[in-house]
Structure 1
């Protein structure tokens, strides 16, 4: 669970009690006593693990840098959300596609919470949960619900992306009008279909743009999203189609296999461009069907970015065709969002 902990809670999971202040240690000791009073009661442990606003304030207030303090607040708030959604059956950000296996109040949910409590107890000594046992419980809740999506393709610069990242190291980016063609996913409506009709359309147009020399890379973006419980990852299926149908070379394709909505399509693609050391003062080209591109251009989309991410993942620019719009990525995209534990 260390990899998942570092992905969701990069600051909090790296903290140790010995390195904190006296007020933080005193507060954590009281949390320990609260947890101990629960004995073997898993529901009690769930409630005891929740972070109060005053407790979050104590930990965040001890941070020397403002950015670190804000990250601690985000991470502990996200941890609380995991406890609420996967421990109590609360409503997730995207309830149609996310959430626990067991329904709220069901025997399945209660059984999974009990096992998660035992898992976290067994892993109590793990470094990732050194600051507080609630970290281990949150990770265990995701584990028992088979929601390890956030680390399924890590490291992101390896595996299916290894050739592209290697190619980027020696690339002359100035030879191309755009840094990448960012292809937005479109999930199918059934569990048996790997690539939807719209997905096939996106892939065909993307191949045309690539062979027209628009960009050195095609970033295919989309996780295992639609329908709920699908095992088909949109980015992987689009990559397969680009190679098998259109003979796009593997070194020109980058998978972004985590995004669950159009907001994170662009955020995650921008993160990849940062990792590939693409010039961030140059535009990428976002590609989808005409209706979807109109949405990306809309005020509704900008508002949703602000509400869910807290910032804009970049600046949407000129529409170059019914299928494309220019996009200038933002440096802010590195901010981790544990409120979406499947794609932070």
Structure 2
């Protein structure tokens, strides 16, 4: 592969708008937030010294890492397109199995690692779908999920493959373009050159994948965090709510982004906010959760939830202190899942239903069987229990505990 070239410099100029989003570029804090949100197991492994030391000292895992680094360097030196580089990067089934076997061996032979899995991994609820498994199997499942997440990023953003929602999730640049090829090559070279001999086995690939997301300005999962800060006032008020006074724990407004650039809020979202405002003022729930991220149109500068809160306060006179922003959901499935996470985190009674608000067609979809199929396809579980349509524009449901499960298969909203 060529080193710095005129075409790469041109691409750098094209990318300047993306860099300006986070002027510090591929910045350590943002990278770490993305890593922790998408790849919690690997991030925790890196952050816990007794575990990191044991993993770094493992001869088999170190050998596998050195082999992968060698394959990547050879690809950078010889590949003529990103498909070739992506093939070198992918964690192959044999590599995956070898790593899983060695991690299982480490688990059996290291008491500190076993305790860490129990206290720091299982206890988070981030691997809730493996709750019924013994610790050793949960550890293996968590690794398998995160290895699949690494492969998803490689396929999606280097090959334009495997995207469930390409209209809003795809790479920001043509994956076959020479400028993108050069930029990815330089990115990989920088990671390999900055690596250290004592790296953990997963770190080179993980760093490359996170930087590929950032190169494409797909840092959505790290935006507007921590939620405890942007929702400080309503979260404080939650502690003093007399829950018996309300039939619902919260009113969830399902966001819908505009399709036109420079339009901050869609007509449908205004209508949904108006309906939510009326329900709130009639005493149905003590809070409104507005849910929706940076989704439509592609690479929009507007967050649906932020704009809905502005509309509720500025146009509908709803107090800001009762509106909770959920700024990451990209689909109806995750509107529900992410709202549930906020409710669980703030210890809102789970035995009280949530009141969902949308338009007629959307509510019909949410209450129908096809929505359950979509949830199982995208999330592998239903994020709700006892879903019931109450009217043309409302549903009620109870939060499902499995909503805390991380979805590494959706790095823009895990």
TM-score (norm 1): 0.92
CA gap 1:140/1:41 in 2 versus in 1, 3 angstroms: farther
Superposed CA RMSD: 2.3
Q: Which residue of 2 aligns with 1:225?
A: 295
CA gap 1:319/1:59 in 2 versus in 1, 3 angstroms: same
CA gap 1:52/1:240 in 2 versus in 1, 3 angstroms: same
Q: Which residue of 1 aligns with 2:337?
A: 267
CA gap 1:124/1:23 in 2 versus in 1, 3 angstroms: closer
As a proportion of its length, which structure holds more helix?
2
* SS across alignment from 1:11: helix
**Cα contact 1:115–1:144 (8 A) shared by 2:** no
**Cα contact 1:182–1:218 (8 A) shared by 2:** yes
Q: Does residue 13 in structure 1 map to residue 13 in structure 2?
A: no
CA gap 1:321/1:104 in 2 versus in 1, 3 angstroms: same
Q: Which residue of 1 aligns with 2:253?
A: 183
Distance in 2, Cα, partners of 1:333 & 1:128: 33
Q: Of residues 81, 92, 95 in structure 2, which corresponds to 1:52?
A: 92
Bigger shift: residues 169-178 or 188-197? 169-178
Distance in 2, Cα, partners of 1:238 & 1:298: 26
Q: Post-superposition, which runs of at least 4 consecutive aligned residues in structure 1 deviate over 6 A?
A: 126-130
Q: Which has the larger radius of gyration?
A: 2
Q: Does residue 96 in structure 1 map to residue 96 in structure 2?
A: no
**Cα contact 2:65–2:201 (8 A) shared by 1:** no
**Cα contact 1:180–1:215 (8 A) shared by 2:** yes
Distance in 1, Cα, partners of 2:199 & 2:247: 43
Q: Of residues 303, 312, 326 in structure 1, which corresponds to 2:382?
A: 312
**Cα contact 1:38–1:45 (8 A) shared by 2:** yes
* SS across alignment from 1:7: helix
Cα offset, 1:279, TM superposition: 1.1
Bigger shift: residues 14-23 or 314-323? 14-23
* SS across alignment from 2:167: coil
Q: Which residue of 1 aligns with 2:366?
A: 296
Q: Does residue 27 in structure 1 map to residue 64 in structure 2?
A: yes
Q: Which residue of 2 aligns with 1:134?
A: 205
* SS across alignment from 1:15: helix
Distance in 2, Cα, partners of 1:120 & 1:87: 17
Q: Which residue of 2 aligns with 1:192?
A: 262
Matched length: 343
TM-score (norm 2): 0.77
CA gap 1:92/1:25 in 2 versus in 1, 3 angstroms: same
Where structure 1 has 5 or more consecutive residues not aligned to the other structure, the ranges are: none
Bigger shift: residues 289-298 or 242-251? 242-251
Where structure 2 has 5 or more consecutive residues not aligned to the other structure, the ranges are: 1-30, 47-51, 108-134
Q: Does residue 251 in structure 1 map to residue 321 in structure 2?
A: yes
Q: Of residues 16, 21, 32 in structure 2, which corresponds to 1:2?
A: 32
Distance in 2, Cα, partners of 1:129 & 1:99: 29
CA gap 1:285/1:40 in 2 versus in 1, 3 angstroms: same
Q: Which residue of 1 aligns with 2:191?
A: 120
Distance in 1, Cα, partners of 2:403 & 2:100: 22
Bigger shift: residues 20-29 or 258-267? 20-29
* SS across alignment from 1:246: coil
CA gap 1:130/1:252 in 2 versus in 1, 3 angstroms: farther
Cα offset, 1:123, TM superposition: 5.2
Distance in 1, Cα, partners of 2:276 & 2:345: 22
